[in-house]
A and B are shown apart, each in its own frame.
Chain A
């Protein structure tokens, strides 16, 4: 059983650019959630996808968007990058909506300069 994998591991972008982060969910998991973790803080929920549909969103602006594919992998897209978007972006997968256990990938460290 493979775990949650994210790519890339590190990324540097310029303010105003757009970025796409990728996540492969753990085998057998159909729910993917994305979190933003600023330095020294706990992860903050961005949104969740279940069977290719967004079914929950945190307090993030529309320039944060995502997709889930038929194989349950997922993308997080951020447009018009701001300096405050610099953070560790975490993907978590779980088996269905009724199963509480969520397993995280190693994250993508995004730096906006």
Chain B
């Protein structure tokens, strides 16, 4: 299995531009999570999906952030318009179920976003 695949690995954009981050979860996994990592706040959960349905988006910073999962093999996280404070590493993770012995999320390699 190729694991969780994220693209792009690096993104540099100007303030005000739209940014779209992409994620392909592991085939068969029914949960997908978007995390943001910064030095100040560590790993923060932004939103997660179960069977393509958003379950909890309380971690999404503000309306500029949106996430979709149109099918089981693809999800996007969009920031519009982007701001310098959005600069961070964004991780996608997936898992099979939330049963007691399935808490081991598999993370992608992340997208390092820099907004200038």
Please say whether chains A and B are actual partners in one complex.
Answer: no
